[in-house]
Amino acid sequence: MREIIIISGKGGTGKTSLTGAFAQLADNKIICDLDVDAPDLHLLLKPEREREEEFYSGYEAQIDRELCTACGLCATLCQFGAIQENGAGFVVNPGRCEGCKVCVAFCPEAAIRFPEKHCGQWFLSSTRFGPLVHAQLFPGGENSGRLVMVLKKQARELAKARGASLVLCDGAPGIGCPVISSLSGAHLAVAVTEPTPSGRHDLTRVADLCRHFQVPLAVMINKYDLNEEENRRIEAFCQEGGCPVVAHLPHDPVVTRAMIQGLVVTEMPEANFNHELERAWARIKVLAGLDHQ
């Protein structure tokens, strides 16, 4: 079983649209959306949920009003201003609680509980292209990196159970904790970039991250024909860094038309754009070792 993750240095490069297209082109795979903070692959794949699980991570303080004597010590000690008086006693603002447990430790009445925090949900769904493992972290929810690892574990177990040869992942943009967790155990990362100075800068950060974690990196240049000079600079950077460019994708309105219809671009009939995508997927399979399975 191989694992490919599609990533980008920033949002808006076309990463999810391309992942959706590859989900149709790939055979015998499990699809996984690892962008848990702002998932949108479901908008293209229209999943039907078959399993739903709650995600708990971290802890938050909760005051038991029956035990609380309203001494106010907890509010005095809280360095984050998370405990406030509301006229009927003291309450914890969960949006400000950092889970430091100082109030729990010093409450003279042991009136503050410290349960696990419900941060989101994850799902196993069916789509027209195969099984999808995905999630939604609540706004302000903690440990997106941990939720990513939960999804990867579930996707791998599902792939093993169903004899799938590939886990295809739509990663989060940037280089933060969700991306670092996404790269764990991946056989190939494919970075989608655009020919702009900011796109080139973000690609260098992604390349440094993959190099640090020893994950092979391939590159797709989206809308390459909008800026030939920056396209050449990105090509030179990739050549110098040993990152193969697997596709030069032109700017094509067919991608937007597909999104409006809730389709992936490879479902659009007679789209010339798809020929380059098919060639790119063939190259990616070779780089990921799928051609040997």
Tell whether the model's pLDDT for residue 6 goes beyond 80: yes
Q: How many residues does the chain have?
A: 293
Query: Residue 58: what pLDDT?
Result: 84
Q: Which domains does the chain have, with CATH numbers?
A: 2-54+128-292 (3.40.50.300), 61-114 (3.30.70.20)
User: Residue 16 belongs to what H/E stretch?
Assistant: helix 15-25
Tell whether the model's pLDDT for residue 143 goes beyond 80: no
Confidence of residue 95 (pLDDT cuts 50, 70, 90): confident
- pTM of the entire structure? 0.88
Alpha carbon distance 4, 183 (integer Å): 9
Asked if 114 contacts 146 with a C-beta cutoff of 8 angstroms, the reply is no
Alpha carbon distance 111, 69 (integer Å): 9
Percent of the chain with pLDDT over 90: 83
Confidence of residue 293 (pLDDT cuts 50, 70, 90): low
Asked if 54 contacts 121 with a C-beta cutoff of 8 angstroms, the reply is yes
Tell whether the model's pLDDT for residue 288 goes beyond 60: yes
Beta bridge pairs of residue 116: 59
Alpha carbon distance 147, 1 (integer Å): 22
Alpha carbon distance 181, 159 (integer Å): 19
Q: What is the pLDDT of residues 184-232, one digit of tens each?
A: 999 999 999 999 999 999 999 999 999 999 999 999 999 999 999 999 9
Confidence of residue 241 (pLDDT cuts 50, 70, 90): very high
Average pLDDT over residues 116-123: 92
Range name among 40-49, 134-143, 258-267 with the lowest pLDDT average: 134-143
* 3-class DSSP assignment, residue 105: helix
Tell whether the model's pLDDT for residue 10 goes beyond 60: yes
Average pLDDT over residues 235-242: 96
Asked if 203 contacts 193 with a C-beta cutoff of 8 angstroms, the reply is yes
Mean per-residue pLDDT over the chain, rounded: 93
